[in-house]
């Protein structure tokens, strides 16, 4: 089955700096790569996703890149703000099942 590795597990950045979270996956058949943000005590919520026919996607301060050859994808957050502090999960899917990474706890220091 699919295996998703996510790094780093924790990340601290100063407000205004950029944050990058990286994931690798094992199943070359995977073609859908969403990112979820989970605030403390809340549910995971989709923030951005990318499909295998696209190399990069951007939504305001958030961007995701995908390298299918290397089987890795990354989340980039620019101009970080305190409200970006949360746990971020990457996931990969080739069928019905989303396989999640272990999560990255992002702390944005004011």
Partner 1 sequence: DAGVIQSPRHEVTEMGQEVTLRCKPISGHNSLFWYRQTMMRGLELLIYFNNNVPIDDSGMPEDRFSAKMPNASFSTLKIQPSEPRDSAVYFCASSSGISGNTIYFGEGSWLTVV
Residues in the site for partner 1, rule: CB under 8 A? 31-32, 34, 42-46, 49, 51, 89, 93-103
Looking at the Cβ atoms of 4 and 80, the one nearer to partner 1 is: 4
Cβ proximity of 88 and 103 under 8 Å: yes
Minimum CB–partner distance for residue 61 and partner 1 (Å): 20
Q: Which is nearer to partner 1, 58 or 102 (CB)?
A: 102
What distance in Å separates the CA atoms of residue 67 and residue 78, rounded to the nearest whole number?
Answer: 20
Rounded to the nearest whole angstrom, what is the least distance from the CB of residue 60 to partner 1 in the complex?
18
- Contact call for residues 13 and 108 (beta carbons, < 8 A): yes
d(C-alpha 37, C-alpha 55), whole Å: 21
CB of 17 to partner 1, least distance (A): 26
> Toward partner 1, which CB reaches closer, 54 or 109?
54
Q: In which region does residue 74 sit, left (phi positive, over 0), alpha (psi from -120 to 50) or beta (all else)?
A: beta
In angstroms, give the least distance from the CB of 16 to partner 1.
30
């Amino acid at each position: 089955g699919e295996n998703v590795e996510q790094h780093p597990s924790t990340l601290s950045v100063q407000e205004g700096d950029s944050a990058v979270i990286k994931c690798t996956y094992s199943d070359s058949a995977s073609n859908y790569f969403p990112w979820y943000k989970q605030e403390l005590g809340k549910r995971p919520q989709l923030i951005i996703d990318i499909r295998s026919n696209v190399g990069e996607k951007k939504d305001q301060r958030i961007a995701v890149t995908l390298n299918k050859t290397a089987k890795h994808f990354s989340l980039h957050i620019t101009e970080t703000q305190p409200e970006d502090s949360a746990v971020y999960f990457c996931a990969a899917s080739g069928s019905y099942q989303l396989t999640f990474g272990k999560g990255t706890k992002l702390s944005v220091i004011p």
